[in-house]
A and B are shown apart, each in its own frame.
Chain A
Amino acid sequence: MFIIFNMRSIWRTLDRNLLRGIALACLSVGVIGISYGAVCVTSGFPLWFPVLAAALVLAASSEFLFVGMIAAGGSPAAAVLLGLLVNARHLPYGLAMPPRVIQPGWRRIVASHLMNDESVVLALAQPDVPRQRSAYWICGVGMLICWPAGALLGGLAGNVIHDTDAFGLDSMFPAVILALILPALRERGMRRAVLTGAAITLATTPFLPSGLPELLALCAVFLNSAPEKKKKAV
């Protein structure tokens, strides 16, 4: 009962439009999950494997990389290391979350598992702690349901759907993140840091292992170390 009441207040704090947007983002993750499950099963994994991986790892790009490497005959140890490299960005994500958004106790364990690109960017885009918490939990739980469910459907369907790119779903993820970080980019220092970081990533993508180019972007963080001078003058 308490949980239901709690959920209701969580729903109310976010506006309808944002909720629909989150739902659409979750749906697109579900459809990508379908192609993930199908790829796994057609390359010889048992049905339960992508579903278990989706629920336990809950980080799409690292999982695609992991099963891809194993299916190509790579060593499991190397697949783990590369997957961890891709997922290392969650450490700075957690450090950036305001302390009251992820509450202590058992909730922190669950909330940590729900940490992903979408839940973090949604939370950071909200103006106050209650809304940050709502956005984080709703998006996180949505992903926890849609990603493994998609993997299961895809695994059952086999190779029925393999080209989700035809629907343009692959441009939804970058569009969601871009739309949500855009307000932060109005600040000049932040814009400088983000653009430099993106340039570092793109320049190193062709020859570094996946995950590392994004982490290298962090070198640009210091371009936003000084607070805006305008504010001081006012």
Chain B
Amino acid sequence: MPYRPAVLVALLALAAGTFLFRFTGPVLRSRLTFPPQAERLLNTAAIVLLGALVASSALATGHHIGGVARPMGVLVGGVLAYRKVPFLVIVAAAAAVTAVLRLLSVP
């Protein structure tokens, strides 16, 4: 039985800490005025983080990097996005390619 009162306390701590991370950004952003150069860096930071997230969620499973089906699906989605195909088609195609490859027992 993994659940005990301490786990609920831990969950609430995680929720509170996560909220603080989420809340601090908008508060700082409204209180301070950043020079354009700094605003540019902040915007870059978000895109860089999202790009890193794409890389790890496409290529890594836990601490292991490998597999073909998922990266291929994401790649097809990326190519379709580059060609300005409708967003819905991009997302559906990515999942479909990965699903079909797995059906053919590609890892």
Residues of A within 8 A of B (CB): 17-18, 20-21, 24-25, 28, 43-46, 49, 52-53, 56-59, 62, 66-67, 70-71, 73, 76-77, 79-80, 83-84, 87-99, 102, 104, 108-109, 111-113, 115, 117, 120-121, 124, 165-182, 184-185, 189-190, 193-195, 197-202, 205-207, 210, 213-215, 217-218, 220-222, 224-225, 227
Contact between A80 and B74, CB atoms less than 8 A apart: no
Chain B residues whose CB sits within 8 angstroms of the CB of A180 once the complex forms: 50
Chain A proximity of B5: nearest CB distance (Å): 10
- The one of B18, B46, B56, B97 in contact with A120, judged by C-beta atoms closer than 8 angstroms, is B46
Contact between B91 and A175, CB atoms less than 8 A apart: yes
Chain A residues whose CB sits within 8 angstroms of the CB of B64 once the complex forms: 206
- Residue tally, chain B, CB below 8 Å to A: 77
Chain A residues whose CB sits within 8 angstroms of the CB of B60 once the complex forms: 202, 205
- The one of B40, B82, B102 in contact with A227, judged by C-beta atoms closer than 8 angstroms, is B40
Contact between A84 and B52, CB atoms less than 8 A apart: no
Contact between B11 and A178, CB atoms less than 8 A apart: no
Q: Majority SS of interface residues in chain B?
A: helix
Chain B residues whose CB sits within 8 angstroms of the CB of A210 once the complex forms: 62-63
Most buried by B among A112, A167, A175, A197: A175
Contact between B88 and A24, CB atoms less than 8 A apart: yes
Contact between B23 and A171, CB atoms less than 8 A apart: no
Contact between B30 and A99, CB atoms less than 8 A apart: yes
22 A-B contacts (beta carbon < 8 Å): A21-B87, A49-B7, A57-B14, A58-B18, A66-B11, A79-B14, A83-B17, A92-B46, A92-B49, A97-B25, A99-B29, A108-B26, A168-B99, A171-B58, A171-B69, A171-B98, A174-B70, A175-B91, A181-B51, A190-B47, A201-B52, A210-B62
Contact between B55 and A202, CB atoms less than 8 A apart: yes
- Say yes or no: is B41 at the interface (Cβ < 8 Å to chain A): yes
B72-107 CB contact bits vs A (8 Å, 1 = yes)?
011001101110001110111111111110110000
Residue of A nearest to B12 (CB): A56
Contact between B65 and A202, CB atoms less than 8 A apart: yes
